[in-house]
Structure 1
Amino acid sequence: MRKPYTEMDLITFQRKFGTEKACQKRLFSMKWPEGYRCPRCGCTTNYNVESRGLYQCTVCKHQASLTAGTVMHKTRTPLVKWFWAIYLLSTDKRGHSALALSRKLDIGIKCAWTMQHKIRAAMGARDAEYQLAGLIQVDDAFFNGGAGKGGDKRGRGTSKIPVLVMAATRNDAITFAKMEILERVDAGHIQNVIDRHVRPKQSIKSDGLPVFNVVRDMGHTHYPEVVYPKRGTPNYDALKWVNILVSNAKAFILGTYHGVMKKHLQRYLDEFCYRFNRRAWADQGFDRLLLACANAETVTYAELRQ
């Protein structure tokens, strides 16, 4: 049985996608896996307008770009460099700063920064298709969001951004992780996030914070456990996987990017979770991420700067 994704190492990638034509061919197969289909009328026949890089439907004459409907829409950067960016971001768990990517690909730092965020948007969109199931550990954590001082305690420091961390587990092993920024750590916002990311009637384990009681009202089985008792030793193992995720995500953001702004934090969390969720298929990383980028709407530089 043919694998849905191709496994490849660096040498294989370089050999397969060293030319613009090879990249175009691969993107075409990702975008139209069963052959060209007109986005307007559904016709399956076309001819190429090579001078403009377009595919024109033979029936309704609609012209479609290869990059339309992908994160690369209207790009002026060669696909070869896009493919390299996707490969680097999918295979290195440490990530790449915009400066490092700009040097490796010989592009401007503004271009590299924008490409990264477009790819992260595709990562987030891909993971949004999945809902968590099983025994799910849930807790809130606080991440730094730009300049400001403050410790890791709840609510301390104006630069602290609350994030709901969710880890689905099976047989005491984590299967899938999600993180989402909260406007406030209250029952309403927690309910909204869990409703979108967790399947109905699951088992949810949280700490003893009263706001998490809302999961019981949602129809889930709730297992609250006090992590920080008034007396005695904290029970860090109660939410072991959440704690590991938070620690690793903070090390990733601080080590590679040296902190991020609040308005961009969600995409960095999406990048971390995307790679973490596919850690068992690291050799398929490029193919999986290319497919995500081929099926995700783009985000513009102007939107990123708002």
Structure 2
Amino acid sequence: MAKSKRYPLGTFMKEFSNEAKCREYLANLRWPVGFVCPKCGCHHACLLSNGRYQCAECHHQNSVTAGTVLHRTHMPLTQWFFAFYFVSQDKRGISAVALMSVLGTTYKTAWYMLMRIRTAMGQRDKIHQLNGSIEFDDTYFGGPTVGKKRGRGTEKAKVFVAVSLDERGNPLYTKMRVTQNIKRTSVKKFAQAAFVQGSTIHSDGYGSYIPALEGYAHEHKPYAPHSGLLHWLHIVISNAKAFILGTYHGLPKKYLQAYLDEYCFRFSRRDFGPRLLERLVLAIGASAWLS
């Protein structure tokens, strides 16, 4: 697999040097066929001096960030675009401490920006399901635990993981979901959201998997070290753990899903190179504000 080039920082700074350029870029991705008034559906608007769009029919005013994860943000779009750049162009991601240093903000502001970006990433990936040949298992995330359970009996965060494969057995896309347990109902709920009906699921045949995956072609056999079973899935799990530990040095369980969403978004678009910035801004424009 060829390595993708990064978007040159100098080029980025020229193309997104002011609010107007950032606003236009986001607007073009959010409204590819042109502005649509959320109140009356009119396709005509004028751009006001304050950066808001005013509908030509009902005169409702709307900003390009309204209703998205950037809803009511007080940060300039130029700052947001710098955050988009550093999140998208470094496969390791960027921590709130590092972003704070780059943008000259407080830690709280940098953390808040990154969490909103991760929310958009998660929302974007929810609309896609895995298809074809899929490796599936569960794992756990958390720091070292001394004298406590390991594996499926652990008190650490349990996570469902799935990776789709192409015809040659190479990885395509991945999904990860934090779960309270790995019982039949939880497995079935994840499968219904993550897998296209008729897909072929490869697993280790854990007890709850077999009844939960009815309706799919389910190929399973007990896992054995060095057997090659679920090869790419275990690589993805290992890399995700390294990503979280290496960039974020661990994190509270309640935020784990957001960081997994970031990892999955980047992994599933790992060959986009410079275009990953565009895909991220597209996800921002398509996102929904969660109050």
Contact 2:131 2:195 in 1 (8 A): yes
Equivalent residue letter for 2:182: V
Q: In the alignment, which residue of structure 2 is the partner of 1:279?
A: 270
- Structure-to-structure mapping, 1:128-167, within 5 angstroms: 128-144=126-142, 149=146, 150=148, 152-156=150-154, 158=155, 160-167=156-163
Deviation at 1:32, TM superposition (A): 2.0
What is the TM-score when the length of structure 2 is the normalising length?
0.92
> Does the alignment pair 1:256 with 2:252?
no
State the alpha-carbon separation in 1 of the partners of residues 72 and 90 from structure 2. Answer: 27
Show the counterpart of 2:93.
95
Q: Distance in 1 between matches of 2:164 and 2:189?
A: 18
State the alpha-carbon separation in 2 of the partners of residues 262 and 282 from structure 1.
Answer: 30
Listed as ranges, the gaps of 5+ residues in structure 2 are: 1-5
Give the residue type in structure 2 aligned to 1:43: C
Task: Determine which of 174, 190, 194 is the counterpart of 1:193.
Answer: 190
Instruction: Give 1:34 shift.
Output: 2.0
CA distance in 2, matches of 1:37, 1:30: 13
SS at match of 2:208: helix
Q: In structure 2, what is the equivalent of residue 84 of structure 1?
A: 82
Give the match for residue 221 of structure 1: 217
For residues 103-148 of structure 1, what are the alpha-carbon distances to aligned partners after superposition, in whole Å with 9 as ceiling and x for unaligned? 101111111101101000111111111111111110010101x796
Q: Report the count of equivalent residues.
A: 284
Deviation at 1:264, TM superposition (A): 0.7
Deviation at 1:299, TM superposition (A): 4.0
The whole-number CA distance in structure 2 between the counterparts of 1:182 and 1:121 is 18
2:230 partner SS: helix
TM-score by length of 1: 0.88
| CA shift in 2, pair 1:236/1:298, >3 Å | farther
Counterpart in the other structure of 1:207: 204
Change (3 A) 1:90 1:213: same
The correspondence of residues 228-239 of structure 1 with structure 2, limited to 5 A, is 228=224, 234-239=225-230
Sequence identity, in percent? 39
Render the CA deviation track for 1:41-95: whole Å, top value 9, x for unaligned. Answer: 1112223332x43222121121112210222111111100100101111111111
Partner of 1:304: none
What is the aligned partner in structure 2 of residue 30 from structure 1?
A: 29
Q: Cα RMSD (Å) of the superposition?
A: 1.8
Match of 1:119 in 2: 117
Q: How far does residue 262 in structure 1 lie from its aligned partner after superposition?
A: 1.2
CA change 1:10–1:152 in 2 (3 A) is farther
Q: Note the alpha carbon deviations across 1:226-257, whole angstroms, 9 max, x for none.
A: 114xxxxx345101111101100000001111
Specify which of 172, 175, 179 is matched with residue 176 of structure 2: 179
Which structure 1 segments of 5+ residues have no match? 1-6, 229-233, 301-306
Question: AA paired with 1:242?
Answer: L
What is the rounded CA distance, in whole Å, between the counterparts of 2:242 and 2:227 in structure 1?
A: 19
Q: Output the amino acid matched with 2:284.
A: C
The residue type equivalent to 1:241 in the other structure is W
Which of residues 29, 51, 65 is equivalent to 1:53?
Answer: 51
| Aligned amino acid, residue 119 of structure 1 | I
CA gap 1:216/1:123 in 2 versus in 1, 3 angstroms: closer
Residue 215 of structure 1 deviates from its aligned partner by 4.3
Whether the 8 Å CA contact 2:185–2:212 is kept in 1: the answer is: no
Partner of residue 39, structure 2: 40
